A and B are shown apart, each in its own frame.
Chain A
Amino acid sequence: MRLRERCDPVCGERLFEGTTARGLAVKVMPRDSVTRSCAQLSIDYGSVDRRFIPHGRARPVTVPAGIAHFLEHKMFEKERGDLFNEFSRLGASANAMTGHLTTSYVFSASGHFDTCLDTLLELVFEPHFTDALVEKEHGIIDEEIRGYDDSAGWRAYRGVLEGLYRRHPVREDIAGTSETIREITAKQLHLVHDAFYVPSNAVLCVAGAVDPQDVVARVDACLGTDADGRVRASTLTPEEPAAIKRRRTKIEMPVALPILHLGFKGPGASSGQDAFRLETAGSVALEILLGETSAVHEELYAAGLIGDDLSFTVRSDPSMSYTLIGGQTSDLKELERRLRRALDEGLSRSLPLEDVKRVRRRVLGDYVRLLDSMEGLCGHLADCYRSGLDLFSLPDDIAKMSPERVRKYAQAMLGADRVTTVSVVPKS
């Protein structure tokens, strides 16, 4: 595999990228000045991929909710033992994350990088599932789900997605439920692994004290150099109507103060680039209109309607986009009224150029800081790959954000007619 070398335009950091004969995309950012090396292998497969056509079959199958997360747990166990321990033995720390759209496996090591990389590739591409191992995992994941169910923030987030989406599987919990995980079998795990865990559906991102050519050689040695032509199975995502599912959800649980979450259903992005613009513009607009430099934030804080935990999340992807605004409050109704009014008024006129320039400076600073974080770099490289974006073009994209462009995209993301409200209140 030939690697292409490029330099980032701000700091001159080098990125080597290419695709192996087996179809695995590889991105490496070598850094001589650090001790640790990090690697992230991300699969384009997440909790929303519930219905798909397996290889060699004509008809689609539907698998239980939570299977992507269950699979991620079970990938660590092999016939020779638990690979968590293998990483520990090498002085490395390993982890894995399942999201709506992707599943990622990561390690961070201060030595033995080659062996860690071998272990990562074995972890992801060599499954070992037995009914006994699957049965053992039920109790562990059931406890994980219960732990999340006790988290007020998570319940509110779940409430927003259930309120916004009618059919899209993003409305289901990533981990599934106690009931759905009981339906999962070793056979089903093999089915989804075979369908999605193929090299051409993955990206390996590495940052740290490594030689890019050594990384590639190691990958080729592990996976082989014969192209097998396997591709990702096709996922069937239900058509999602533009309208939301429900306007209001109230959750009672032990919390000290009520929590308000407003969720906005955005448009599906036309491309990864479009999704990036929607996400960036939404975030910039919210920072200007509701962030700590805004008059609204100052007033809400002074009135005791918010604390220091008011937060925004903006997500965009071709199949779904949403924005979430949330925090604790002493007055649910009044906070909702004032937040919505601030957004309506703020987006009805041009955003101040000085505010946009200031936020652009902050975002440029964030970009430079990111280049110091090996784990952060791996995550961003993987995200950019999935969206078809170039990490190094981000400073330029950010510089081009005009107030009008920010407003246009933010208006699309924050439509006043596609809002769901979730309140978490102390149990009476």
Chain B
Amino acid sequence: MPNDSPSFTTIPLDRGVTLHHHRSDRFKTEFVRVFIRAPLDDRRTLRHLFAALLSRGTQDLPTRRRLVSRLQDLYGAGYGAAAQSIAGRHVLALRASTVAGRFLPGRPENLKSLLAFLSHVLSGPPTGADGLPASDVFEQERRSLKRDLLGRVNNKARYALDRLHEEMYAGTPLAHPDIGTESSIDAATPLATLAEGMRTFSEGEIDVYLLAPCTAGQAERLVRRHFKLAPRRKERLRPLELAAPRSRVRKVREALDVEQGRLTLGFRIADWTPGEGYSEVVLANTILGGGPASKLFRNVREERSLCYDINSWLDNVSGTIGIQAGIRPENHDAALRAIRAEVRAMKRGRISDDEVALARAAILSSIRTVPDSPTGLIEFFYRRRLMKRRGKTLKAIVRGFERMSIDDIPALFERASLDTIFFLDREEPAHATA
């Protein structure tokens, strides 16, 4: 590895405000990320709307048109604002990047221009004389968010997954898509959106990541000069609200005019502590359904030709194992049996040395190449920070995986029980007879 253990220098700027700097000239682009934490609560819709307003303009560039023109002037600088659930929180995330000036005509100081731009973003979206976002702009973003919500059905795999969550986590915040529901979008107002967004800006714990060839001291001076971030309380993480596991498997079938059925299974792991057993979880998921060398891919797709796509995921915040496959509806029973057989094999420890070797090789490769992607590097370390797995270098993480045994995997799956099956089925033709 050219830099076999890249990590960020952590510089506390104030209470609850931390700069993470990684000095590197290996990229031709310089990156800034600002993450601001909020709880995973029922105000997620407001934060999504707030992020949408931040994408529409700033106080000095009050329209999207002017904002995008400015970014294009900076040689196509990247910028985006989003709200997203990460590691049991709701995070307002600003991302920005620019080509390093040393590669451009006239050597412009693009990083300074970008930080100045972001400082305007951090002062909030454009507002009118009444101190509120313009009502027409707000309505446009409300409409756009609702469009995203309704448009989920256009992507059948995503839709089936959202429906699984709705059924599996009914009555808890995780049941709804992150952007909310039609009623939460309808209920949002410009005042509530602005208030929630600005409150998050001023109260949420902030992490600024800067990846550029400057020194840590220069990075600190730059960020202090451009960002006026007041001290705030350290985050107090609320426990995730989860529904009690079911005693019987819930089976839900929904019919649409589709060619392909989407079989989606959700398993709950009993007595789960958020963040528990990170390495085991990653290895177990890779063995089960994390790629073309996984059990599900090899045995359900390649051996039995039951599907084209099949994968699994393991959420170590909520303690959920999910599996989804695109299948021919008439193969539902055969596919379900085949998938459950692979989960049973995990429970019984029927995992071959080859399966472990393939999974381990895939994981180690993905970790070793994290430094090749600036965004991957930042997100990898921020996620680890949120999961309280600090201090380890990539080299140490790689060593951990190399030494890890699979002894704990059967016990992990032994605690997993099938909770919900959601099947997006093909509609029977109206003229069909029984």
Binding site for B on A (CB under 8 A): 10-11, 32-36, 82, 84-85, 88-94, 108-111, 136-144, 146-147, 149-153, 209, 253-257, 259, 291-295, 297-298, 301-302, 304, 307-308, 328, 358-359, 361-366, 368-369, 371-372, 374, 427
Q: Check if A140 sits within 8 Å of B65, measured CB to CB.
A: no
* Cβ–Cβ < 8 Å partners of A138 in chain B: 305
Cβ–Cβ < 8 Å partners of A146 in chain B: 259-260, 326, 328
Q: Assess whether A36 is in contact with B372, with CB atoms less than 8 Å apart.
A: yes
Give A359 to B365 CA distance when docked, in angstroms.
37
Report chain A residues within 8 Å CB of B65.
292-295, 297-298
A372 touches B27 (CB 8 A): yes
- A110 and B63 form a contact (CB under 8 A): no
Residues of B within 8 A of A149 (CB): 259-260
Q: Which of B144-152, B165-173, B195-203 contacts A (4 or more CB under 8 A)?
A: B144-152
Task: Verify B358–A88 contact, CB threshold 8 A.
Answer: yes
- Which listed residue (B28, B150, B151, B257) contacts A371, Cβ 8 A? B28
Q: In the complex, what residues of B have CB within 8 A of residue A110's CB? A: 364-365, 368-369
A293 to B63, CA, bound (A): 10
Contacts of B371 in A (CB 8 A): 35
B333 within 8 A of A: no
Please tell me if B72 contacts chain A, counting CB pairs below 8 Å: yes
**Interface residue stretch chosen among B125-133, B153-161, B274-282, B338-346:** B153-161
> Which of B26, B326, B361 has the most C-beta atoms of chain A within 10 angstroms of its own C-beta?
B361
Q: When the two chains form their complex, are residues B257 and A84 in contact, meaning their CB atoms are under 8 A apart?
A: no
Note all chain A residues with C-beta closer than 8 A to B291.
88, 93
Q: Is the CB of A91 within 8 A of B361?
A: yes
Contacting residues, chain B, for A368 (C-beta < 8 A): 28-29, 75, 99, 103-104
Which residue of the partner chain A has the closest CB to B148?
A307
Contacts of A109 in B (CB 8 A): 365
Q: In the complex, which of the residues B72, B104, B305, B328 contacts A358, with contact meaning CB atoms closer than 8 Å?
A: B72
How far is the CB of B69 from the nearest CB of chain A, in Å?
Answer: 5
A293 B68 Cβ-Cβ under 8 A: yes
Nearest-neighbour CB distance to chain B for A396, whole angstroms, equals 13
* Listed residue (B63, B256, B302) with the most chain A CB atoms within 10 angstroms of its CB: B302
Shortest CB–CB separation between residue B21 and chain A, in angstroms? Answer: 18
Tally B residues with Cβ within 8 Å of A: 63
Contact with A along B244-278 (1 / 0, CB 8 A): 00000000000011111000000000000000000
Contact between chains at B328 and A88 (CB < 8 Å): no
Can you report 14 residue pairs joining A to B where beta carbons are below 8 Å apart? A11-B103, A36-B372, A89-B357, A89-B358, A94-B292, A143-B307, A144-B309, A146-B328, A150-B258, A256-B150, A298-B65, A359-B72, A364-B76, A369-B28
If the complex has contacts A34-B26, A146-B326, A295-B65, are A151 and B155 also in contact, measured as CB distance less than 8 A?
A: yes
Q: Which B residues lie within 8 Å of A365 (CB)?
A: 74-77, 98-99, 104
Given the interface pairs A88-B358, A362-B72, A369-B99, the reply to whether A35 lies near B154 with Cβ below 8 Å is: no
Residues of B within 8 A of A82 (CB): 298, 302
Cα distance A358–B147 in the bound complex, in angstroms? 31
Among B2, B72, B104, B309, contact of A35 (Cβ-Cβ < 8 Å)? B2
Chain A contacts for B29, CB-based, 8 A: 368-369, 372
Chain A residues, Cβ within 8 Å of B428: none
Q: Cβ of B407 < 8 Å from any Cβ of A?
A: no
B364 contacts across to A, CB distance below 8 A: 91, 110
Q: Which of A10, A36, A328 has the most CB of B within 10 A?
A: A36
Selected contact of B152 from candidates A256, A293, A298, CB within 8 Å: A256
Q: Nearest chain A CB to B378's CB is how many angstroms away?
A: 15
A147 to B368, CA, bound (A): 33
* Whole-angstrom distance between the Cβ of B294 and the nearest chain A Cβ: 9
Rounded to whole angstroms, the CA-CA distance of A92 and B292 in the bound complex is 11
Across the interface, do A254 and B257 meet the contact criterion of CB distance under 8 Å? yes
A94-B362 Cα distance, complex, nearest whole Å: 11
In the complex the two chains form, is B372's CB within 8 Å of A140's CB?
A: no
For A12, give the chain B residue with the smallest CB separation. B103
Give the shortest distance, in Å, between A403 (CB) and chain B (any CB): 16
Q: Is B64 an interface residue (CB 8 A)?
A: yes
Give the 9 A-B CB pairs with smallest separation, nearest first. A365-B75, A139-B305, A365-B76, A91-B365, A362-B76, A256-B150, A33-B26, A88-B293, A143-B308
Picked from A257, A308, A361, the residue with its CB within 8 Å of the CB of B150 is: A257
Contact (A111, B328) CB under 8 Å given A304-B143, A358-B72: no
Asked if B258 and A254 make an inter-chain contact with CB atoms under 8 angstroms apart, the answer reads: yes
Decide: A366 near B76, CB < 8 A? Known: A141-B308, A298-B65. yes
The CA of A149 and the CA of B261, in the complex, are separated in Å by 12
Query: Which residues of the partner chain A approach B358 to less than 8 Å between Cβ atoms?
Result: 85, 88-89
B1 at the interface (CB under 8 A from A): yes
| A141, B75: Cα distance in complex, Å | 42
Minimum C-beta distance from B157 to chain A (A) = 8
Interface presence of B306 (CB below 8 A): yes
Q: Which residues of B contact A256 (CB under 8 A)?
A: 147, 150-154
Nearest-Cβ distance from residue A152 to partner chain B, whole angstroms: 5
Q: Point out the residues of chain B lying under 8 angstroms from A137, CB to CB.
A: 305
B57: min CB distance to chain A, Å: 11
Chain B residues whose C-beta falls within 8 Å of the C-beta of A295 in the assembled complex: 65
When chains A and B are docked, how far (Å) is the Cα of A374 from the Cα of B376?
14
From known contacts A11-B28, A146-B260, A371-B28, infer whether A85 and B293 are also in contact, taking CB-CB under 8 Å: yes
**Bound complex: CA A295 to CA B65 (Å):** 8
A307 and B362 alpha carbons, distance in the complex (Å): 38
Residues of B contacting A35 in the complex (Cβ-Cβ under 8 angstroms): 1-2, 368-369, 371-372
Note all chain B residues with C-beta closer than 8 A to A293: 65, 68-69, 72
**Measured between alpha carbons, how far is A258 from B292 in the docked complex, in Å?**
35
